Amino acid sequence: LAKTTQPISMDSYEGQEVNITCSHNNIATNDYITWYQQFPSQGPRFIIQGYKTKVTNEVASLFIPADRKSSTLSLPRVSLSDTAVYYCLVGRMDSSYKLIFGSGTRLLVRP
């Protein structure tokens, strides 16, 4: 299971772009990178998943460099409602994978 390292917390202001980087130095060839978002008193919500290069959806973009040893979740023009904990998960698409969450990054968006 690839170990992930994320910043404990980040601060931003409304309207800014926020980039949260996750390190996963021992990522395996078959591993995918997935990000979840958790609001207070709610269960996590899937944001985005990728394998390499760049993935974009209506919520965020995920940038993965060629060596795949890190990934960056990019949130464009954040609002107060983006205040949440963001989790980076790394794992493969086989039965050995357990959906295990780390401590995540606590993002605070200020007015």
Partner 1 sequence: NAGVTQTPKFRVLKTGQSMTLLCAQDMNHEYMYWYRQDPGMGLRLIHYSVGEGTTAKGEVPDGYNVSRLKKQNFLLGLESAAPSQTSVYFCASSLMVNTEAFFGQGTRLTVV
CA dihedral over 71, 76, 77, 83, signed as positive or negative: negative
- Residue 14 tokens read as 């409304």
- Residue 11 tokens read as 């601060």
Q: Determine the Cα–Cα distance for residues 92 and 36; give it in Å rounded to an integer.
A: 16
Q: Whose Cβ is closer to partner 1: residue 16's or residue 97's?
A: 97
Q: Whose Cβ is closer to partner 1: residue 60's or residue 91's?
A: 91
Least Å from the CB of residue 14 to partner 1: 25
Least Å from the CB of residue 53 to partner 1: 19
Q: Whose Cβ is closer to partner 1: residue 32's or residue 63's?
A: 32
Q: What is the DSSP letter of 75?
A: E
Least Å from the CB of residue 7 to partner 1: 14
Least Å from the CB of residue 15 to partner 1: 28
Q: Whose Cβ is closer to partner 1: residue 67's or residue 94's?
A: 94
CA-based nearest residue to 18, from 82, 66, 69, 67: 82
